[in-house]
Structure 1
Amino acid sequence: MQKKTKLILILLFISFVLNFYLGISSFIKNTYTPNLEDQIILGEMTKMVLENEQYQEIAARENVYAIKQGVSRFNVANPSSILHYEINVQTEQQTYIFSCTDNLCTGVSNEGWSYSRYSEEKPVLPLKKIN
């Protein structure tokens, strides 16, 4: 009888750990992965970035290798806020982070900078600057 009890306790513990891991990983994925509505908003923001004067200045002086869309709902008071969407413009020198300037997203602005992987690594595809 004790062997059955130990086996059941071990199985319950494994089940609990597995469910906890799957729940946390699903939560983290949903925190940083855009859903369909997010993708529509990010697509419109990308168009706004491409038309933005700051972006055009960056593109004129540096090679733009990638434009990445992102959303971060982690550790925020209002996860549905438009201010948690960002467009990352990656060049060979750094990554420029564009986000909405207000709650209605009437405009976008370069709100930050970060490291660019292209400063030390080559692009994956054979990209060339368009003149």
Structure 2
Amino acid sequence: MKKKVVKILLVMSVGMNAYWLVKHYAFDRMYDPDEKEQIILNEMIQRTIESKDYQEIAKTKDIKSIESSMDKNKGGRYPYYFNVSVRTTEGTYLFGCSDEQCTDIEKYGEAYSIYQDEKPRLPLE
């Protein structure tokens, strides 16, 4: 009886550890930046704010938020899987590196904005 319980616990332990390893290496690392990647994303936000495309948007639109993200799963290679989203009341503007050295940030697309249907989250109630 004791051997059976030990075997069951061993199988459960190995199974849970395998699950966490696969989850970490196959999924989380694709979307969650490590320390080096987070620094790159933070610098990209600053470069986005300094870019000509952002300045043109800032003149005419009401900017609500800026968000950085990383998606290694979309097929791009370094540094093209880094993104900065600038959310306004009318839409979301997507920014990314213009070349492999990321010497310049450029707007490469637009998307839907949550602020079309919802109020801003701040100030807190």
Question: Is the TM-score greater than 0.5?
Answer: yes
2:54 equivalent in structure 1:
55
Please tell me whether residue 125 in structure 1 is matched to residue 119 in structure 2.
no
TM-score (norm 1): 0.77
Shift of 1:66: 0.9
> SS where residue 113 of structure 1 aligns?
strand
Q: CA deviation digits over 1:61-97, x for unaligned, max 9?
A: 222111111122226475xx11111111111222211
How far apart in 2 are the matches of 1:75 and 1:107? 21
| Number of residue pairs aligned between Structure 1 and Structure 2 | 123
CA distance in 1, matches of 2:11, 2:112: 42
1:65 partner amino acid: K
Unaligned runs of 5+ in 2: none
Aligned equivalent of 1:17, options 15, 26, 33: 15
Structure 1 gaps, min length 5: none
2:107 maps to which residue?
Answer: 110
Report the identity percentage: 34
Structure 1 counterpart SS, 2:73: coil
In structure 2, give the amino acid aligned to 1:99: G
TM-aligned CA distance change 1:91 to 1:19, over 3 Å: same
Provide the alpha-carbon RMSD of the alignment: 2.3
Question: Structure 1 residues 24, 90: closer, same or farther in 2, change over 3 A?
Answer: farther
Which amino acid in the other structure matches residue 69 of structure 1? S
Structure 1 runs of 4+ aligned residues shifted over 3 Å read 3-6, 75-78
Q: Which of residues 23, 26, 30 in structure 1 aligns to 2:24?
A: 26
Question: Which has the larger displacement, 113-122 or 88-97?
Answer: 113-122
SS at match of 2:66: strand
1:66 aligns with 2:65: yes
